[in-house]
């Protein structure tokens, strides 16, 4: 929505131009780096891939990193590497993007949704434990909004029940859990490089791990299940020989993407600092407004602030989330909702998921709104969001 039509709740919109909820930051260095690859010998399967993987592994202090065409492909590969198969159950959160659960379905497994903690909005370890059966194979926790999940508890549950932990860290690149970077704490960790995420490659994803066996399987899965390593083949008499040993996919990242990622990586420190600064500015004003609840922060952790979510205090408002959402849109504030509980989706409903399985997640879903947050926002943008929220909650307040 653009233009200056009158907002239904009165007056001229706070902004003349639309402010999106997320956006990439691309500079001259990024552009030049991509051009250099276009002029080089390799557009794919070239040297930029390994450099990018090495740099990411180094950044998160993991032994290995395997890049993929997107984060969803990376999650699929991780499910394969973890050995998830027909009949296996995998516990995850309903407050996530559908990709988190879909990757389990790709492998013929069954996503099982555990409810969230009402303060952190992350998966609740107590709820995980209650859902474990003899078929449970893995847990896919999501560091929702960039705030790490309670890894000590989740890893302890996994250890006691012999489960694999695949951390969906699409939101938490650069986040820290008790002094350690997210990326080497779970068995495998996935990062996404979609344009709204912390750094972008256009489309892209990566798995980081300390496990050599997973590393080998991820590499092979990314390229049709093919190996050219004579050590791993059943025979190697012919010099042209390669071997397809299982059904893999073409999930490779291009060198064009990897080069952009390398250039973006140089700016991670700035991106993170800026996101934290902006979130703090939001926090400081919104904590004084009784109609909204600001995000709770886990002690000893540093969120990477992918999303800033306001929870509405519906007891203090005359209307529901939908009206507040629409009113903010009319102010040209690009609000969003992250996420519709996965099992509400028609596809999941057809699979037979109960629509009242996770009451905390469902309650949160009725009350949350994502506000714009990305490094390219300036102080005036933040002020506009704050002014619009103040105006709207005042208008609709009790
Ligand atoms: C972005 C995202 C993904 C998938 O990443 P793509 O790179 O878009 O495939 C998975 N999980 C979560 C929570 C995400 O936000």
From the CA of 203, give the closest atom in ligand 1.
7
| CB 110 within 8 Å of CB 90 | yes
Rounded to the nearest whole angstrom, what is the distance from the C-alpha of residue 68 to the centroid of ligand 1?
A: 12
Tell whether 244 and 345 lie within a shared domain: no
* C-beta of 141 in contact with ligand 1 (< 6 A): no
Q: The domain spanning residue 16 has which CATH number?
A: 3.90.1150.10
Q: Residue 310 — pLDDT band, cuts 50, 70, 90?
A: very high
pLDDT at 376 > cutoff 50: yes
Q: Residue 6 — pLDDT band, cuts 50, 70, 90?
A: low
Q: Which of 71, 90, 338, when mutated, tests ligand 1's pocket best, judged by the most ligand atoms within 8 Å of its CB?
A: 71
Q: Residue 239 — pLDDT band, cuts 50, 70, 90?
A: confident
pLDDT at 383 > cutoff 70: yes
Across the range 143-152, mean pLDDT stands at 98
Q: Residue 283 — pLDDT band, cuts 50, 70, 90?
A: very high
Tell whether 48 and 171 lie within a shared domain: yes
Across the range 330-346, mean pLDDT stands at 97
Active-site positions?
A: 197
- Between CA 83 and CA 104 the distance in angstroms is 11
Strands 64-68 and 308-312, sheet pairing: unpaired
* C-beta of 72 in contact with ligand 1 (< 6 A): yes
| CB 121 within 8 Å of CB 364 | yes
Tell whether 49 and 7 lie within a shared domain: no
Last residue of a domain, one of 265, 291, 310: 265
Q: Residue 7 — pLDDT band, cuts 50, 70, 90?
A: low
Tell whether 141 and 217 lie within a shared domain: yes
pLDDT value at residue 229: 87
* C-beta of 189 in contact with ligand 1 (< 6 A): no
Number of Cα atoms under 13 Å in the Cβ half of residue 223: 15
pLDDT at 302 > cutoff 90: yes
Strands 188-192 and 292-293, sheet pairing: unpaired
* C-beta of 205 in contact with ligand 1 (< 6 A): yes
pLDDT value at residue 238: 86
User: Which residues are CB-neighbours of 218 under 8 A, at least 6 positions away?
Assistant: 66, 77, 78, 81, 188, 207, 209
**Ligand 1, atom 15, residue with closest C-alpha:** 170
* C-beta of 110 in contact with ligand 1 (< 6 A): no
From the CA of 72, give the closest atom in ligand 1.
9
Across the range 281-289, mean pLDDT stands at 96
From the CA of 205, give the closest atom in ligand 1.
7
Domain span including residue 67 = 28-265
pLDDT at 335 > cutoff 50: yes
Q: Which residue has the higher pLDDT, 5 or 290?
A: 290
* C-beta of 102 in contact with ligand 1 (< 6 A): no
Neighbour-count burial for 181-207, b at 16+ CB within 10 Å, e otherwise: bbbbbbbbbbbbbbbbbbbbbbbbbbb
Across the range 202-216, mean pLDDT stands at 98
Across the range 20-26, mean pLDDT stands at 96
pLDDT value at residue 4: 45
From the CA of 194, give the closest atom in ligand 1.
7
Pick the closest to residue 186 from 140, 227, 217 (CA basis).
140
Q: Which of 106, 168, 182, 370, when mutated, tests ligand 1's pocket best, judged by the most ligand atoms within 8 Å of its CB?
A: 168
CA dist 341 to 42, 57, 303, 338, Å? 42, 32, 22, 9
Domain count, the chain: 2
Last residue of a domain, one of 249, 265, 281: 265
Tell whether 17 and 52 lie within a shared domain: no
**Ligand 1, atom 5, residue with closest C-alpha:** 71
Q: The domain spanning residue 161 has which CATH number?
A: 3.40.640.10
pLDDT value at residue 61: 98
pLDDT digits (tens, 9 = 90+) for 107-137: 999 999 999 999 999 999 999 999 999 999 9
Tell whether 212 and 87 lie within a shared domain: yes
Tell whether 219 and 156 lie within a shared domain: yes
Q: Which two tokens stand for residue 398?
A: 């009790």
pLDDT digits (tens, 9 = 90+) for 247-263: 999 999 999 999 999 99
Across the range 288-316, mean pLDDT stands at 96
Neighbours of 88 (CB within 10 A): 18
pLDDT value at residue 236: 77
Rounded to the nearest whole angstrom, what is the distance from the C-alpha of residue 352 to the centroid of ligand 1?
A: 24
Q: Which residue has the higher pLDDT, 225 or 239?
A: 225
pLDDT value at residue 1: 42
From the CA of 192, give the closest atom in ligand 1.
7
Tell whether 309 and 261 lie within a shared domain: no
Last residue of a domain, one of 234, 265, 296: 265
Neighbours of 334 (CB within 10 A): 18
Tell whether 228 and 90 lie within a shared domain: yes
pLDDT value at residue 231: 86
| CB 147 within 8 Å of CB 301 | yes
Tell whether 185 and 323 lie within a shared domain: no
pLDDT value at residue 193: 98
From the CA of 338, give the closest atom in ligand 1.
15
* C-beta of 227 in contact with ligand 1 (< 6 A): no
pLDDT at 367 > cutoff 90: yes
Mean pLDDT (the chain) is: 96
Q: Which two tokens stand for residue 103?
A: 């990757």
Tell whether 204 and 337 lie within a shared domain: no
**Ligand 1, atom 14, residue with closest C-alpha:** 170
DSSP string, 109-142: -EEEEPPBPTTT-SB-HHHHHHH--TTEEEEE-B
| CB 321 within 8 Å of CB 4 | no
* C-beta of 107 in contact with ligand 1 (< 6 A): no
pLDDT value at residue 232: 87
pLDDT value at residue 2: 44
| CB 293 within 8 Å of CB 120 | no
Rounded to the nearest whole angstrom, what is the distance from the C-alpha of residue 318 to the centroid of ligand 1?
A: 35
Tell whether 291 and 258 lie within a shared domain: no
Rounded to the nearest whole angstrom, what is the distance from the C-alpha of residue 291 to the centroid of ligand 1?
A: 31
Across the range 63-90, mean pLDDT stands at 98
């Amino acid at each position: 929505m653009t233009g200056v039509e009158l907002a239904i709740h009165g007056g001229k919109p706070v902004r003349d131009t639309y402010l999106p909820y997320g956006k990439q930051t691309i500079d001259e260095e990024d552009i030049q780096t991509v051009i250099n690859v276009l002029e080089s010998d390799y557009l794919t399967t070239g040297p930029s891939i390994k450099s990018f993987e090495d740099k990411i592994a180094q950044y998160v202090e993991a032994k290995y990193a395997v890049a993929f065409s997107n984060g969803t492909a990376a999650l699929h590969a991780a499910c394969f590497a973890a050995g998830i198969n027909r009949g296996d159950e995998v516990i995850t959160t309903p407050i996530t993007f559908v990709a988190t659960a879909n990757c389990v379905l790709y492998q013929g497994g069954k996503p099982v949704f555990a409810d969230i903690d009402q303060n952190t909005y992350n998966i609740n370890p107590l709820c995980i434990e209650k859902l474990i059966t003899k078929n449970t194979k893995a847990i896919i926790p999501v560091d929702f909004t960039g705030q790490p999940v309670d890894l000590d508890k989740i890893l302890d549950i996994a250890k006691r029940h012999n489960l694999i932990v695949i951390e969906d860290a699409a939101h938490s690149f650069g986040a820290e859990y008790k002094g350690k970077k997210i990326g080497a704490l779970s068995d495998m960790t996935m990062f996404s490089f979609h344009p709204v995420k912390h750094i972008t490659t256009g489309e892209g994803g990566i798995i980081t791990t300390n496990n050599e066996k997973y590393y080998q399987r991820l590499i092979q899965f990314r390229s049709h299940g093919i190996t050219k390593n004579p050590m791993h083949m059943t025979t190697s008499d012919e010099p042209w020989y390669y071997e397809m040993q299982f059904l893999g996919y073409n999930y490779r990242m291009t060198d064009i993407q990897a080069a952009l990622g390398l250039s973006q990586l140089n700016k991670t420190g700035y991106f993170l600092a800026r996101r934290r600064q902006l979130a703090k500015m939001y926090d400081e004003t919104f904590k004084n407004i009784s109609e909204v609840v600001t995000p709770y922060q886990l002690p000893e952790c540093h969120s990477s602030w992918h999303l800033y979510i306001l929870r509405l205090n519906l007891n203090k408002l005359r209307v529901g989330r939908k009206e507040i959402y629409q009113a903010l849109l009319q102010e040209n504030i690009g609000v969003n909702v992250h996420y519709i509980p996965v099992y509400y989706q028609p596809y999941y409903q057809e699979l037979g998921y109960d629509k009242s399985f996770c009451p905390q997640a469902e309650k949160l879903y009725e009350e949350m709104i994502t506000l714009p947050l990305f490094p390219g926002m300036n102080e005036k943008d933040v002020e506009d969001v704050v002014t619009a929220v103040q105006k709207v909650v005042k208008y609709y307040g009790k």
